[in-house]
Amino acid sequence: MEAEVEYLAELLSGLAVTLELTLMSLLLGGMLALGLTWLLDRRIPVARQLVEVFLVCFTGTPLLVQIFLIYYGPAQFDWVKASPLWSVLREPWFCAVLALGFNTAAYSTRLFKGALDAVPKGEILACKALGMSQWQTLSIKLRHAMRRVVPGYSNEVILVLKGSSLASTITIMDIMGIAQRLNAQTYDTLGVFGVAGAIYLTMNASLTLLFRWVERRALAFAPHD
């Protein structure tokens, strides 16, 4: 039991890195998803095709592969290493945020677009009849779609948190990175990863409760079908 307490104290030192990775990835992914959803909703042919290629690439390949490609890939090109971008592309933390952000952006775009498509067409026709602009119409659609998005997006947030553990594969010392180091030092695989799993389980349970509260509070004011 004393060993588990020591593991817990050590592993919690990586909690801040895990939360930073998750938060920054969600911010990046959320902004990208909103922009990509808008492009899909506008139905611009070339832009729509490019967005679809992006979505297929990041929803059709494993997150671990994406992390490796973004982190190790640029180093294969001398012109990238000679460019100003190399100062950030060589940083594991930045590459992990990019990979997680792009990945969640792809899944969130599918989620947002599906929610928008589910908005009754009568509401869209009413907006046009009232002379609303495209941005005003999109705002109405987003408010209506929010009731469908929040439950699904809560799952995506949890998936990003769990996916952040893969950042340890590129030397980032988050919770899982510290767990791997402790395991190499103690060979107590069951104890180390058991405590690490308990930390992730606690965080995921807390997020689930938080989103349930958000659904009760915020979605109560969302429009109903």
pLDDT of residue 194: 96
Distance CA 138, CA 131 (A): 13
pLDDT of residue 169: 95
**pTM over the 0.75 mark:** yes
Q: Is 216 part of any domain? A: no
Q: Is 36 part of any domain? A: yes
Q: Which of 61-70, 113-122, 155-164, 170-179 has the lowest mean pLDDT?
A: 113-122
Q: Is 12 part of any domain? A: no
Q: Is the pLDDT of residue 146 over 80?
A: no
Domain count, the chain: 1
pLDDT of residue 174: 95
Contacts for 118 with CB less than 8 Å, ≥ 6 apart: 145, 148
Q: In 3D, which of 117, 155, 159, 152 has the Cα closest to residue 138?
A: 117
Q: Where in the sequence is the domain holding 152, given as residue range(s)? A: 19-172
Q: Is 82 part of any domain? A: yes
* Higher-pLDDT residue of 221, 209: 209
Q: Is 214 part of any domain? A: no
- Tens digit of pLDDT for each residue in 110-139? 998 888 887 777 777 777 787 787 777 777
pLDDT of residue 222: 53
73 DSSP assignment: S
CATH number at residue 160: 1.10.3720.10
At 106, the pLDDT band (50, 70, 90 cuts) reads very high
Q: Is the pLDDT of residue 145 over 90?
A: no
- Tens digit of pLDDT for each residue in 1-55? 778 889 999 999 999 999 999 999 999 999 999 899 889 988 788 999 999 999 9
pLDDT of residue 149: 83
Q: Is 218 part of any domain? A: no
pLDDT of residue 219: 59
Kindly state the tokens that stand for 162. 């769990």
